[in-house]
Amino acid sequence: MQIETLLAQMGNRRDVKTGAVSLPIYHSTTFSHPSVGESTGYDYSRTKNPTRFVLEEEFAKLEQAPYGMAFASGMAAIDAVISLFSAGDHIITSKDLYGGTYRLFETIGKKAGVTVSYVETGDADEVKAALIPQTRALFIETPSNPTLRITDLHAMVKIAKEHNLLMIVDNTFMTPYCQQPLALGADIVVHSATKYLGGHNDVLAGLVATRDEAIAKEILTYQNTIGSALGPQDAWLLVRGMKTLALRMARHEENALLLAQWLEQQEDVTKVYYPGLPNHPMAEVHRRQASGFGGMIAFEVRDEAMVVPLLNNVSLFTYAESLGSVESLITYPAGQTHADIPKAIRESYGVTDGLLRVSVGIEHADDLIADLAQAFALVRRL
Ligand SMILES: Cc1ncc(COP(=O)(O)O)c(C=O)c1O
């Protein structure tokens, strides 16, 4: 079945008793047992909840995996994956990484004795050079947040297989609609479902998919032990949002391409990062592993003094953290999402004080371009 159909049908036909087309929300935290030693399959919602379970099963299908797990946030999902590692283990990850993941590695990871090397994973030789006997995993973001760097997933799978490493991909920017890393050979996929999957800036959630039963069991045990599962109301919101993912992603991409092309022509813009632009250095690699480019763009302005007045003068773009929703957002990575990364480190891979990131929504592209055009015009007059 095609992914558009799986998405639109999420939750339908799951409640055979009533025929409810919209997935029922089971708020119950506990479930009665038919008799001693018997269970309906549900005992206590931290372990398994009927609404969350439908989301998990249907999400797993999208990633072509037998196991899906839903968490209270993307960070809770990543934390559960990182719990697979113990003191002495080493992880190689993308240099240009979501700031929250960097913080997790540098705080909780470090405390647990897990060491991390940040390399340009777009360069397989850099990854190979960072391998040490204790290396257990590759943790990849592609495209990366915020400079949209691309990592060759086929090359990473090859390295992972050769060195017996777990290959983990944060697929937040692409969603399973555009990129399915497990089908390419990755072991674990994580998502901040708060972004494109939810799509409406109204639910915080994380998802993990894997094809490996032992990994799934270990992650589920961790989730059940610490209680980081997604609540039923949020699981329903996520299913509701995901039904329109295919339509939204197509429109995000259409708008993003138009905006990226327009930004490239602006004299105040010195760099535009978007994998859909033919001059993106890894455009070809991205095309081999993904079926779309998504709706995220980053661009650098001529003078960092323009950043604040630009942010103050956009009226349609909302100056806010996060991404992937129907409404267009503009973010200042150096001051927001990546503020926890030391300046010298973030600048070494392009997160400068003049970099802005836009999450292109599904509004009319003309209105989005007009908004940025008027903001640039105002800033030039200052
Ligand atoms: C690529 C990526 N991964 C993970 C996360 C964390 O997700 P959440 O905010 O849902 O905890 C984010 C959040 O922005 C993200 O952009």
Per-residue tens of pLDDT for the chain, all 382 residues: 999 999 999 999 999 999 999 999 999 999 999 999 999 999 999 999 999 999 999 999 999 999 999 999 999 999 999 999 999 999 999 988 898 999 999 999 999 999 999 999 999 999 999 999 999 999 999 999 899 999 999 999 999 999 999 999 999 999 999 999 999 999 999 999 999 999 999 999 999 999 999 999 999 999 999 999 999 999 999 999 999 999 999 999 999 999 999 999 999 999 999 999 999 999 999 999 999 999 999 999 999 999 999 999 999 999 999 999 999 999 999 988 788 788 898 898 899 999 999 999 999 999 999 999 999 999 998 8
In the Cβ-directed half-sphere of 227, how many Cα atoms lie within 13 Å? 4
Q: Which of 67, 98, 196, 274 is catalytic?
A: 98
**Residue 86 DSSP code:** -
Question: 219 in helix, strand or coil?
Answer: helix
Amino acid at position 260, single letter: A
Amino acid identity at 227: G
- Residue holding tokens 């089971």? 26
Mutate to test the pocket of ligand 1, among 75, 147, 336 (most ligand atoms within 8 A of CB): 75
Q: What is the pLDDT of residue 50?
A: 98
Give the CATH architecture of domain 3-242: 3-Layer(aba) Sandwich (3.40)
The first and second tokens of residue 184, run together, are 């390419």
Q: Which residue in the block uniquely carries the two structure tokens 């999957």?
A: 197
Give the residue among 182, 192, 177 at the shortest CA–CA distance from 160: 182
pLDDT at 382: 81
**With contact defined as beta carbons under 8 Å apart, do 241 and 55 qualify?**
no
Beta strands 296-301; 269-273: pairing state = antiparallel
| Residues contacting ligand 1 via CB (< 6 Å) | 73-75, 98, 100-101, 141, 145, 170, 172, 192, 194, 204, 206
Spatial CB neighbours of 241, under 8 Å, sequence gap ≥ 6: 197, 198, 199, 200, 202, 203
CATH 3.90.1150.10 positions along the chain are 246-381
Interior angle at CA 178, CA 177 and CA 179, nearest 5: 105
The model's pTM is: 0.97
What is residue 341's predicted lDDT score, i.e. its pLDDT? 81
pLDDT at position 96: 87
Q: What is the pLDDT of residue 172?
A: 98
Please give the distance, rounded to the nearest whole angstrom, from the Cα atom of residue 126 to the centre of ligand 1: 25
SS3 call for 79: helix
Describe the crossing of helices 50-62 and 232-242 by its angle, rounded to 10 degrees.
30
Say how many Å lie between the CA of residue 14 and the centre of ligand 1.
29
CB 316 within 8 A of CB 371: yes
Give the span between the Cα atoms of 40 and 38, in whole angstroms: 7
Catalytic entry in 96, 152, 170, 371: 170
**With DSSP H G I counted as helix, E B as strand and the rest as coil, what are the percentages for the chain, rounded to 5?**
40, 15, 45
3-state secondary structure 326-382: CCCEEECCCCCCCCCCCHHHHHHCCCCCCEEEEECCCCCHHHHHHHHHHHHHHHHHC
Is 251 in a helix, a strand, or coil?
helix
Residue 164, C-beta contacts closer than 8 angstroms, at least 6 positions apart: none
CATH 3.40.640.10 residue ranges for the chain: 3-242
Superfamily of domain 246-381: Aspartate Aminotransferase, domain 1 (3.90.1150.10)
Cα torsion 225, 231, 232, 238 to 10°: value is -120
